[in-house]
């Protein structure tokens, strides 16, 4: 019998959630994603030392530009070993500024295109705030496709689909973490709140004919991944990808078009903000995620400043 990873690839596009080139080459995902936290880890790897040095060249001390250049340089290296796309993230400190997000996204795409990478191989990652979703809506119309990240609530998913974003990344593991702590118990299988969240979104999108891709992210264990087999895409850490590659046994498809989903909704800004406010988990995890990515962005800037 083939491994669970090979079986998963029959139903789902597998994406590597890492900047580790060795792991990507070994596990052969279609796409890959990075974020400020993963870039910070990549910056500590000897193989990226030269890219880190080069990122500062000609930046005139602009640490934001240097970070973008490093992110694009890492993305270029990853694109050499995958057939699909790289997701590169906008500075999380711009999460509540639509125009600044658009400007940074355009700069990232320009840097990729200057390096000879077509924009069709890049997704721009943006936090799924109201302002981020509005920025993504404009970017999509301009031919820059987006990956809306830090997505924890159904309201965020509804707004993203309505805005016509290319892809969303609902965070399975972080939802699980919150409920495990809040309720003082563990969750397995289909009762896992993170699994339930992605399942609900997937069924809603398919039932209403949305083209937006659902890519489950932030997994804590193989059980979560197995329960979402059939989701459009899943972005998985190298550690869990390796476990899947070593696991034998039948992996059955759990998600497929045709399941019942809720009626189509449209949320204006007031309704979106209220729905998010009423979801304590999503409110806390969204804010926490933005803060963490912002802190790691600052650490990366400090690392680059030492190269000046």
User: Is 125 one of the catalytic residues?
Assistant: yes
Residue 127: CB partners within 8 Å, gap ≥ 6? 90, 92, 95, 148, 149, 150, 286, 289, 290, 293
Instruction: Give the Å distances, CA to CA, from 263 to 164, 206, 208, 266, 283.
Output: 17, 11, 7, 10, 24
Which one is catalytic: 41, 80, 125, 299? 125
**Residue positions annotated with a catalytic role:** 125
């Amino acid at each position: 019998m083939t491994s669970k990873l090979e079986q998963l690839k029959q139903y789902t596009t597998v994406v590597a959630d890492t900047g580790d080139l060795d792991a990507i080459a070994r596990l052969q995902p279609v796409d890959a994603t990075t974020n400020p936290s993963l870039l910070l880890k990549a910056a500590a790897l000897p193989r990226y030392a030269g890219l880190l040095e080069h990122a500062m060249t000609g930046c005139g001390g602009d640490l934001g530009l240097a970070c973008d250049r490093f992110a694009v340089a890492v993305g270029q290296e990853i694109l050499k070993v995958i057939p699909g796309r790289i997701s590169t993230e906008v500075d999380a400190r711009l999460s509540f500024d639509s125009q600044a997000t658009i400007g940074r996204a355009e700069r990232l795409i320009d840097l990729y295109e200057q390096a000879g990478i077509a924009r069709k191989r890049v997704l721009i990652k943006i936090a799924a705030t109201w302002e981020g979703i509005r920025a993504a809506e404009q970017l999509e119309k301009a031919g820059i496709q987006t990956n809306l990240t830090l997505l924890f609530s159904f309201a965020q998913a509804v707004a993203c689909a309505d805005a016509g974003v290319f892809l969303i990344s609902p965070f399975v593991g972080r939802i699980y973490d919150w409920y495990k702590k809040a309720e003082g118990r563990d969750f397995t299988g289909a009762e896992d709140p993170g699994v339930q969240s992605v399942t609900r979104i997937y069924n809603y999108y398919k039932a209403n004919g949305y083209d937006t891709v659902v890519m489950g992210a932030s997994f804590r264990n193989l059980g979560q991944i197995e329960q979402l087999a059939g989701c459009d895409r899943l972005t998985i850490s190298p550690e869990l990808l390796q476990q899947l590659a070593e696991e034998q046994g039948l992996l059955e498809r759990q998600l497929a078009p045709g399941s019942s989903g809720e009626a189509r909704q449209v949320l204006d800004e007031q309704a979106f903000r209220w729905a998010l406010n009423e979801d304590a988990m999503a409110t806390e995890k969204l804010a926490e995620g933005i803060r963490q990515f912002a802190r790691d962005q600052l650490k990366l800037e400090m690392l680059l400043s030492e190269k000046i």
